[in-house]
Amino acid sequence: MKKILTILVMAVASIATITASANGTFAKNDLVGSATIGFGDGFAQRIAIDYGVADGWINGNASLGIGASLNNTIGWHGGDILTLIANCSFHYQFVENLDTYVVVGFGGGVAMAHKYADGRFDWTSSIGARYYLTPTFALNAEVGHTNRSFCNLGVSIKF
């Protein structure tokens, strides 16, 4: 696992040194909304918002965002989970029109199984990418732990 992580870090560092400056896929004051579906512990649906708070880092290619998501997961064996997550995202643009990012967030919600509802703590930690087909419309994908799922696909709109 250490070898794979080392190779991945070296590859990212190599690509970072040869990329051009960002064309603005995610920058300060940008507001991006996303809607995704995913699979993992159940069928997941999510709506999220990401707001750019800083940019111009790492040769002008990196930026920082904050945001939130409202998540619902319908469990494979019954029960629903509804959560609200606050998050922070780090974005880096390797190629034109592609916004790659890492998201970490924490929040809570309620798990509803049969006739019972329990409060719960939840978190997100994932890597993702948005590919902009137009200056305001993108397709996106995330892998990691997001909304109790391991793979999410959807669309994003820059307002």
Q: What are the boundaries of each domain within the chain? A: 2-158
Q: In this structure, which topology does domain 2-158 adopt according to CATH? A: Porin (2.40.160)
Question: What one-letter code names the amino acid at 37?
Answer: I
Beta strand pairing status for 62-75 and 98-113?
unpaired
Q: How far apart are CA 89 and CA 124, in angstroms?
A: 11
Judged by DSSP in three states, 60 sits in: helix
Separation of alpha carbons 108 and 81, rounded Å:
10
What is the pTM (predicted TM-score) of this model? 0.78
| pLDDT for the residue numbered 62 | 94
Q: CA quadruple 22, 24, 27, 32: dihedral positive or negative?
A: negative
pLDDT of 15 reads: 39
Give per-10-residue mean pLDDT for the chain (159 aa): 48 38 74 94 92 92 95 84 94 94 94 78 92 96 86 95
pLDDT score of 24: 63
